[in-house]
Structure 1
């Protein structure tokens, strides 16, 4: 049973203060997105190229509900075997985003998915304009802090369909979190790297379940 948190109005400053949370600027806290990444096969590359092509095609038309999850996130998680044991998906209630973009009222949503107690995914969806992945960071950190196993790090992924950022959080007296670089789906081999990091993290988290 996951913890229910009212995260709609939380800012990053609120989360840091409420939970005594600090940002770790050193890359040493979060080496998992850099070191020992698995190789990617030609079959996997072709699959990811199709996902990229599907996203590019969808971006040419008005965004519909759930586009982020349907076109990009779902196939990415599938290819990384994150629908298989020990992972499973629990969907949290969406958080609505409302801002003004060049005089236009923009409504969006943050959908929070728990793949396992140590891995959270936040999908940010918007109509008429894209939200930065940073828009979901306070909410994602808030959920990650609900991890019932404080002796283990918690990992997260933020995406708005085109941009991706990974997060690691360690709970302690003064909890710390670290961020990966931001990856962009149509920039060089970024999307391949996103997949490699997902495979790396899934292997780490799977090892937690086998060691209990």
Structure 2
């Protein structure tokens, strides 16, 4: 089965998942720059399609205590049907960190630790927007967004070959919620990016 997968793309990694004992193959499919997760029955060697994983993986909700926040965390697994990746989802909110990725050859470090880390990051983020960013001058705001967007486009370009994948409807709604005058600031930012900005591509991406 693994030999057949090489016809579909380049295998990046393969391992026995610690929790499910399934063979997981991570590969970059032909004509794609994203990693796809393929599951194989480690006993029979048969491919397990995403829609049939429920026969091998427990997707039911589980409760674990979060002592730092004096509450329980409701954990479940969710599948990205496009890539086959799976994530632990605490309280219905996906936390895109390495520890939230469900497939792993090792025992997970702990969902509670991941949850606590995410909550701490949220607190720091809110503090930044309320106590620091709101006091920026317009030129300082332009400087902030220039650094942020230039970095994001460079990382996306290196990772996927598509620097405009930095932009999306969810991204646009978020930045507008943080900076109501974002559109005006963004015009100033694009003039300093160091390349000809494709406004048509940007407008298309921010609507999807």
| TM-score bin, normalised by smaller chain | under 0.3
- Bigger helix fraction: 2
- Bigger strand fraction: 1
TM-score, with length taken from structure 2: 0.23
Structure (1 or 2) with the larger CA radius of gyration: 2
**Larger RCO: 1 or 2 (CA < 8 Å, sep 6+):** 1
